[in-house]
Structure 1
Amino acid sequence: MNVLLIGGPGSLTNRMIVKLKKEGHRVSLLTGESYARKGYEKVFETYSFTYDSDSLKEIFESVCPDCILFMGAYDTNFNWNESEREAGRFISAVMNILLSYSVQKNTRFFFLSSDEVFGQGNSEDIKEEDAVWGDSAKTTALIQAEEICRDFSENWGKDVTVLRLDHLYQIPKTIAEAIQNPCASLCMSALKANYISADKENIYSLLYEDDAVEFIYEVMAAKHREYSFYHLSSGDPVSEWQLAQEIKEVLGGHITVLEVKRADSRRRVLSNERFSEEFPSKIRHEREEGVKKIVKYMKKNRAVFVDETEEKLSLGKRMLRQFGWFLKAIFPFLENMVCFIPFFMLNNRTVGSQYFSRLDFYLFYVLLFAIVHGQHQALFSAVLAVCGYLFRQMYTRSGFEVMLDYTTYVWMAQLFILGLVVGYMRDQIRDIRQESAEIQENLNHQLGDIKDINNSNVRVKDVLEQQVVDQKDSIGKIYSITSSLERYMPEEVLFHAVEIVRDLLNCPDVAIYTVHHSGYARMFSATSEQARKLGNSILYQDMTDMYEALKEQRVYINRNLDASYPLMANAIYDNEEIQMILMLWGLPWERMTLGEANRLVVVSYLIQNAVLRANRYLAALEERRYLADTKILEAEAFTSLVQAYYNAKKKNLTECTLLRIECDSATFKRSEEILLDNLRQTDYLGTMDDGKLYVLLSNTVKTEAQIVVNRFMKAGFNSRIIDRIAR
Structure 2
Amino acid sequence: MKVLISGGYGFIGSHVADRFHKEGYEVFIIDNLLTGRKENVTFKHKGYQLSVEDPKCEEIFRSNRFDAVIHLAAQVSVADSVSNPRLDTESNVLGLVNMLTLSQKYKVKKFIFASSAAVYGMNDKLPLVETDLCNPISPYGISKWVGESYCLKWEQLYDLETVCFRFSNVYGPRQGSVGESGVVSIFMDRIISEQPVFIHGDGEQTRDFIYVEDVADAIYRASYTSLSGIYNLSTNTERSVNSLVDVLKELHDVKEVHHTDRRDGDIQRSTLSNEKIKNELDWVPMYDTNEGLKRTFAWFKSNQAKREVAVSAVAETSSKRQWLKSIQPYFENLLAFALTAWIVLSQQSSAYGLIDVELFYITIIGIIYGNRQSILAVVLSIGLFLFKKLDDGHEIVSLMYDTDFFFQLAIYLFIGLVVGYSVERKNGIIQAKEQKIVELENRYEFLNGVYTEVREVKDELQHRILNSGDSFGKIHSITKELESLELEKVFMATVNVVKSIMGVQTVSIYTVSPNRSFMRLVANTNDSGAAVSKSLRLEDHAYLQKMLADGKVFVNKELNSHAPLMSVPIYHDGTIAAFISIEGMSIDKFSLYYQNLFKVTSDLVSSALSRALAYLDATESRRFIEGTSVLRKEAFEEILSSKKQAKSMHNTPYLLLEGELGQMSLKQYSEKVASMLRETDYIGSVKEGQVVVILSNSAAEDANFVLSRFAQQEISMRVVEGEL
Q: What is the aligned partner in structure 2 of residue 479 from structure 1?
A: 479
- Residue 212 of structure 1 is aligned with which of 212, 215, 240? 215
Is the 1:632–1:685 contact (alpha carbons within 8 Å) kept by the matching residues of 2?
A: yes
2:560 maps to what in 1?
562
Q: Which residue of 2 aligns with 1:377?
A: 373
Matched, 1:582 2:580: yes
Amino acid aligned to 1:478: I
Q: Distance in 2 between matches of 1:300 and 1:620?
A: 76
Structure 2 counterpart of 1:382, one-letter code: V
Q: Could you state the TM-score of these two structures normalised by the residue count of structure 1?
A: 0.75
What is the rounded CA distance, in whole Å, between the counterparts of 1:460 and 1:313 in structure 2?
37
**Partners of 2:208 and 2:237 within 8 A in 1:** yes
CA distance in 2 between counterparts of 1:145 and 1:377 reads 50
- Distance in 1 of aligned mates of 2:155 and 2:175: 41
Provide the rounded CA distance (Å) in 2 between the counterparts of 1:710 and 1:243.
77
CA drift at 1:521 = 1.3
SS in 1 for 2:569: strand
| C-alpha displacement of 1:482 | 1.0
Which SS does the other structure have where 1:107 is aligned? coil
Q: Aligned equivalents of 1:542 and 1:57: distance in 2?
A: 51
**How big is the shift at 1:275?**
5.3
Distance 1:640 1:427 in 2: 91
Task: Tell me which residue corresponds to 1:366.
Answer: 362
Please name the residue that 2:599 is paired with: 598
What is the CA deviation profile of residues 372-411 of structure 1, one whole-angstrom value per residue up to 9, with x for unaligned ones? 4333333333334434444554564543333233333222
Range moving further from structure 2, 459-468 or 253-262 = 253-262
Give the Cα–Cα distance (whole angstroms) in 1 for the partners of residues 72 and 548 of structure 2. 34
SS at match of 1:383: helix
Q: How does 1:60-75 map to 2 (within 5 A)?
A: 60-65=61-66, 67-73=68-74
1:157 & 1:114 partners in 2: Cα distance?
24
Structure 1 pair 86–564 and aligned structure 2 pair: CA distance change class (3 A): farther
CA distance, structure 2, for counterparts of residue 421 and residue 54 of structure 1:
41
Deviation at 1:202, TM superposition (A): 0.7
Mapped to 1, the partners of 2:14 and 2:385 lie a distance apart of 70
Kindly indicate whether the alpha-carbon contact (under 8 Å) linking 1:178 and 1:185 is maintained by their aligned counterparts in 2.
Answer: no
Pairing partner for 2:116 from 114, 117, 129: 114
Measure the CA separation in 1 of the matches of 2:437 and 2:197. 59
- Is 1:123 aligned to residue 118 of structure 2? no
**Corresponding letter in the other structure for 1:411:** Q
The answer to whether the 8 A contact 2:362-2:381 is kept is yes
Tell me the SS of whatever aligns to 1:554. Answer: coil
Q: After TM superposition, list the pairs within 5 Å mapping 1:364-513 onto structure 2.
A: 364-391=360-387, 393=389, 396=393, 398-463=395-460, 471-472=471-472, 478-483=478-483, 485-486=484-485, 488=486, 493-513=490-510
| Partner deviation per Cα, 1:599-640 (whole Å, 9 max, x = no partner) | 22322222221453477699999998677xxx9999998887
Identity %: 19
Residue 548 of structure 1: CA displacement?
1.4
Relative to 1, partners in 2 of residues 1:601 and 1:639: Cα closer, same or farther, differing over 3 Å? closer
Shift in Å, 1:520: 2.0
Q: Deviations over 1:120-146 (max 9, x none)?
A: 3551414267425244x7556656766
Q: Please tell me whether the aligned partners of residues 111 and 162 of structure 1 are also in contact (alpha carbons under 8 angstroms).
A: yes
1:163-562 alignment to 2 at 5 Å? 163-167=164-168, 169=170, 172=173, 199-204=203-208, 206=210, 208-221=211-224, 227=229, 230-234=230-234, 236-240=236-240, 244=244, 247=247, 264-271=266-273, 280-288=280-288, 291-292=290-291, 294-295=293-294, 297=295, 303-304=301-302, 310-311=308-309, 329=326, 332=329, 340=337, 343=340, 347=344, 350=347, 360-391=356-387, 393=389, 396=393, 398-463=395-460, 471-472=471-472, 478-483=478-483, 485-486=484-485, 488=486, 493-516=490-513, 517=515, 519-528=517-526, 530=528, 533-562=531-560
In the alignment, the residues of structure 2 paired with residue 320 and residue 492 of structure 1 have an alpha-carbon distance, to the nearest angstrom, of 73
Q: Give the unaligned 5+ runs of structure 2.
A: none
Contact 1:683–1:695 (8 Å) recurs in 2: yes
Change (3 A) 1:417 1:173: closer
Partners of 2:157 and 2:521 lie apart in 1 by 53
Distance 1:210 1:610 in 2: 47
Change (3 A) 1:500 1:238: same
For 1:194 and 1:383, locate their aligned partners in 2 and report how far apart those are by CA, in whole Å.
Answer: 53
CA spacing shift, 1:597–1:317, aligned 2, 3 Å? closer
CA distance in 2, matches of 1:15, 1:622: 61
Q: After superposition, give the CA deviation of every residue in 1:346-381 in whole Å (9 maximum; x if it has no partner).
A: 545549x99889765443443343334333333333
The residue type paired with residue 172 of structure 1 is P
Change (3 A) 1:83 1:179: closer
Shift of 1:309: 7.1
CA 1:245–1:527 in structure 2 vs 1: closer, same or farther (change >3 Å)?
A: farther
Task: Please give the residue correspondences for 1:621-632 in structure 2 after superposition, counting only pairs within 5 Å.
Answer: none
What CA deviation, in whole Å up to 9, does each residue of 1:561-588 have, x standing for no partner?
3332212212223454432211111333
Counterparts of 2:488 and 2:315 in 1: how far apart (Å)? 88
Distance 1:332 1:15, change over 3 A: closer
Contact 1:524 1:654 in 2 (8 A): no
Cα distance in 1, alignment partners of residues 650 and 311 from structure 2 = 77
Q: Secondary structure at the match of 1:521?
A: strand
Gaps of 5+ in 1: none
Contact 1:540-1:547 within 8 A present in 2 as well: yes
**TM-score of the pair, normalised by structure 2:** 0.75
Q: Distance in 2 between matches of 1:528 and 1:504?
A: 15
Task: Name the SS for the 1:268 alignment partner.
Answer: coil
Taking only aligned residues, the RMSD between alpha carbons, in angstroms, comes to: 5.6
Structure 1, 17-26 or 427-436: larger mean CA deviation:
17-26
Deviation at 1:540, TM superposition (A): 2.9
Distance of 1:322 and 1:336 partners within structure 2: 22
Q: Deviations over 1:423-474 (max 9, x none)?
A: 2223233333333333333333333334323323333444565688884488
2:445 partner letter: G
2:704 to 683, 703, 706: 706
Contact 1:366 1:381 in 2 (8 A): yes
Deviation at 1:511, TM superposition (A): 0.8
Q: CA deviation at 1:510?
A: 0.9
Question: How many aligned residue pairs are there?
Answer: 703
Q: Label 1:694 to 1:307 Cα distance change in 2 as closer, same or farther (>3 A).
A: same
Deviations 1:132-173 (A, max 9, x none): 5244x75566567667x4598399968484633423657526
CA 1:667–1:303 in structure 2 vs 1: closer, same or farther (change >3 Å)?
same
Determine if contact 2:365/2:374 at 8 Å carries over to the other structure: yes
Closer, same or farther: CA 302–425 of 1 in aligned 2, 3 Å: closer
Q: Residue 391 and residue 25 in structure 1: after superposition, are their counterparts in 2 closer, same or farther (change >3 A)?
A: closer
Q: Which amino acid aligns with 1:292?
A: E
Deviations 1:520-565 (A, max 9, x none): 2122221116586452222234332343134322222223333322
Query: Does the CA contact (< 8 Å) of 1:501 and 1:603 recur in 2?
Result: no
Residue type of the alignment partner of 1:204: D
The 5-angstrom pairing of residues 4-153 of structure 1 reads 4-10=4-10, 12-17=12-17, 19-20=19-20, 26-32=26-32, 37-40=38-41, 42=43, 45-49=46-50, 55-65=56-66, 67-73=68-74, 91-93=89-91, 95=94, 98-99=97-98, 102=101, 105-108=105-108, 109-124=111-126, 125-127=128-130, 130-135=133-138, 139=141, 142=144, 149=150, 153=154
Could you tell me how far 1:662 is from its partner in structure 2?
9.7
